[in-house]
Amino acid sequence: MRKNTFRHILLAAVLLISTFSLTACGNRPDSNGSMKSEDGRKYGGLIEAKSDEVVHTAFFDMKVNSSKKCSTYQFQDGLYAADSGKSYLEVEITITNTYDKDLPMSISDFTLDYSENENKDIITGYGMTELGIDGFMDNIFTLKLGESITKSILFIVDDRAEYLLCYKEFYEDKFEGDSYEITLVPEMLEPAVTTETTTETAVEESTEAATEEPSTETEETSEEVQSEENVDTGIDEE
């Protein structure tokens, strides 16, 4: 009885290992680390791309058209300078709905990160709602079936040479799909006020000062002295 029991336990263990092996072999991760769920949806993968590449997500295609970094930015109410060690980063992207229905979306679907972000804080951007500037992404919008839009997002970030534009797939049933990271090497824009402008202004001010009419203060002082001399001379004669 003991031998039979041992054999049954051994057989069950072999069957369990075989079943696990078959299951694992049928759901091996791909080159991006993506796995497939029972309904065929991918999850757990990280797809990395450069800014000039078209990224194919489960819902839409995305391409970064440009990324520009600057120390000052022209808002509707004036020109603002970023805090010390910070920069304004404007990213323009094109997204095209490739899903089988309309997509409810948010500007916070697209976040920013960088390799030295020790706090791992989620960096979200600003769009049409906050800035009121045409061409920026709405905070909440619907990307209709087959629709393609090109919009910008403004981030305020630590001054770095490279950034990562991040996106993660979330389904309506809260299923989490793959993640995406697009490397950004932004173009550095010159500040609105340059050294050349300052020099030109200084030259103009100097020229204006040189062409001003001479002061009459010296003439007035001379007349006062002459007047005093005449009075003294009159007293001596008497």
Predicted confidence at residue 24, as pLDDT, reads 46
Q: How far apart are CA 78 and CA 22, in angstroms?
A: 64
Low-confidence ranges of the chain (pLDDT < 70): 1-26, 118-119, 191-238
Give the helix/strand (H/E) hosting 21: helix 2-26
Return the residue matching tokens 């839009």.
149
Q: Two tokens at 154?
A: 């403004």
Predicted confidence at residue 61, as pLDDT, reads 98
Residue type, 194: T
Predicted confidence at residue 23, as pLDDT, reads 44
Domain residues of the chain, as ranges? 40-188
Arithmetic mean of pLDDT over the chain: 80
CATH code of 40-188, in short, is 2.60.40.1240
Give the helix/strand (H/E) hosting 13: helix 2-26
Q: Could you say which DSSP state residue 109 is in?
A: G
Predicted confidence at residue 152, as pLDDT, reads 98
Please tell me the number of Cα atoms within 13 Å of 120 on its side-chain side: 0
Q: How far apart are CA 53 and CA 65, in angstroms?
A: 9
Q: How many DSSP H helices and E strands does the chain contain?
A: 4, 15
Predicted confidence at residue 118, as pLDDT, reads 66
Predicted confidence at residue 107, as pLDDT, reads 98
Q: How far apart are CA 152 and CA 90, in angstroms?
A: 7
